[in-house]
Amino acid sequence: EAGVAQSPRYKIIEKRQSVAFWCNPISGHATLYWYQQILGQGPKLLIQFQNNGVVDDSQLPKDRFSAERLKGVDSTLKIQPAKLEDSAVYLCASSTHRDPNYGYTFGSGTRLTVV
Amino acid sequence: GQSLEQPSEVTAVEGAIVQINCTYQTSGFYGLSWYQQHDGGAPTFLSYNGLDGLEETGRFSSFLSRSDSYGYLLLQELQMKDSASYFCAVGRNYGQNFVFGPGTRLSVLP
């Protein structure tokens, strides 16, 4: 099966600019996650979708970050305006089973540099 | 809230056995997962422990003790390709999402 697709692979923007990341999960995976991974740290959950509904966005900085999954398939994460501390890898993951024994499948991520 | 602790770095030689520990504090604990991440790569799922005890998958084993809020990942017959970062992650919300630890960087020397 095809993996989790993310684009772009790399992005460099100036602070206060806007940026958007796209994710296409594995076909049939109802659950989609966006994680932020700062260099040298573990991934931090930003938002979790179940189909097109938000399950958990408690750690999403809603003043500048937004995410949507309108048709319950692919998803977009947006940052507006970006800050220097947003420099990180943004990882998308998906899963199909409610059984955590199956784990997540992560995409390769988008590496964002804010200058 | 949740907090997880792992050693930041571990070094071992090829063919050896290494254990990476993880201690956690969390409410609503559901289980413990382990992920491997090579530099520049995506995290990949290794194992999940929902119950106390040892789970074995090939060269990798994972252990959980709920009463001690502790788990570990055991890697046997180390190979150079095992050099990577390893993250423990606690499951919450009935295992629907996971909080990741800070990661342990494993270096395997020839």
CB contact under 8 A, B45 and A103: yes
pLDDT value at B95 more than 70: no
Q: Are B7 and B21 in contact (CB under 8 A)?
A: yes
Nearest CA-CA distance, residue B48 and chain A, Å: 5
Rounded distance between C-alpha atoms, residue B22 and residue B39, angstroms: 21
> What is the percent of chain A with per-residue pLDDT over 90, rounded to a whole number?
80
- Produce one character per residue of A50-62: b if its CB has 16 or more CB atoms within 10 Å, e if not: eeeeeebbeebee
The residues of A whose Cβ lies within 8 A of any Cβ of B are 4, 31, 33, 35, 40-45, 48, 50, 55-56, 91, 93, 98-109
User: Tens digits of per-residue pLDDT, A2-49?
Assistant: 799 999 999 999 999 999 999 999 998 989 999 999 999 999 999 999
User: Tens digits of per-residue pLDDT, B37-55?
Assistant: 999 999 999 999 999 999 9
Nearest CA-CA distance, residue B28 and chain A, Å: 15
Residue of B nearest to A33 (CA): B97
Please state whether beta strands B104-109 and B9-13 pair in parallel, antiparallel, or not at all (unpaired): parallel
* Cα angle for residues B76, B72, B66 (degrees, 5° grid): 145
All residues at 6 or more sequence positions from B24 whose CB lies less than 8 Å from its CB, including other chains:
B2, B3, B4, B5, B32, B69, B70, B71, B88, B90, B101
pLDDT value at B81 more than 90: yes
